Amino acid sequence: MLDPVLLNDMTEMLTKHLKPNQIDEIGRMLFKRYNSHEKLGIDDHITIPRRKAAEALVDECLTSQKEEELIKCLIELDGSELLGKTVAFDSIETFMKDMVSSGYIYDFKKRKLKKLKDAQDELSNWGALREGKKYEITVASIDIVGNSALVKKYGMKKIEKVYAKFWSLLRRILAVYDGRIWSWSGDGGLVAFTFKDHPTRAVLFALELQNALSVFNVDPSLPIDEEISVRIGLDTGNMKFTQNTGQIVSETINYAAHLEKTFTAPGKISISKELYLRISENLQSIFDCEGEFEGRTAFCTDSQVSVLAQMRN
């Protein structure tokens, strides 16, 4: 049986977005004969409230063990017509993300619900974002400073060990803030955040990563006697998603990458004005270095080590 939270979410979606006759139509897609009036023992001339109609259909699917078929139906109906009207479930992606948390994922290619085999943080689309659809996403471009010089000084073997430890640190912090790695190449890459409060979570991730490096750099197991420093640039905006995340074309991604490479000093974090306006005043207080970059206002932190101290003060 599915998680009760998912069952409740399905009921809420049906209630919020569909009329009783549309809910009955979905019932007829799943059963040869379905009539909510008959199921509830209500005369045909009496209008059934949306919630009662929704609860009746979900209950019928549970009784007949067709709840997975109902989920498939709802996912595929989103954006399609039902009885002459376009269905638009505004919370379908959140629902699909909750499915992942419950151990299920919808395979769009095979058009079926299946048990999740991979770890959640391996899903670049959170198990919910659809191919070709636009979403509001915050991205962070990250770069380890002076990679070429480090390799030349210490050799590739030692640097690879350092980067492997850094990669482990990055992934642990990223998991806390529900971010995803969209592309990575040795000394840097792109991570993304979406869903509720994604601007705040992205900034908190960047702050925690920078501050964690102060501890990382004194780890006696590191095979080099030099501190690792990173630059981080962030921006937020709408972009069209594709499963091949390394190939996503977006002004938001471009700006974050340019901001990191050109505007941001080692050990600092830079954010666009659009992102700055989406975070709390407490977080805004950290970004007191303002400037113009590529025709837009950008903000950056003062220093790497003092970021959390600034917040506490």
Is residue 299 pLDDT above 50, yes or no? yes
Q: Which fold has domain 134-312?
A: Alpha-Beta Plaits (3.30.70)
Using the predicted structure, report yes or no on whether residue 32 has a pLDDT greater than 90.
Answer: no
- Residue 238, pLDDT above cutoff 50: yes
The model's pTM: 0.82
Per residue in 176-226, pLDDT tens? 999 999 999 888 999 999 999 999 999 999 999 999 999 999 999 999 989
Is there a contact between 308 and 207 (Cβ–Cβ < 8 Å)? yes
The predicted-structure confidence for 46-70, as pLDDT tens digits, reads as follows: 999 999 999 999 999 999 999 889 9
SS (H, E, C) the chain: CCCHHHHHHHHHHHHHHCCHHHHHHHHHHHCCCCCHHHHHCCCCCCCCCHHHHHHHHHHHHHHCCCHHHHHHHHHHHCCCEECCEECCCCCHHHHHHHHHHCCEEEECCCCEEEECCCCHHHCCCCCCCCCCCEEEEEEEEEEECCHHHHHHHHCHHHHHHHHHHHHHHHHHHHHHCCCEEEEECCCEEEEEECCCCHHHHHHHHHHHHHHHHHHHCCCCCCCCCCCCCEEEEEEEEEEECCCCHHHCCCHHHHHHHHHHHHHCCCCCEEEEHHHHCCCCHHHHCCCCEEEEECCEEEEECCCCCCHHHHHHC
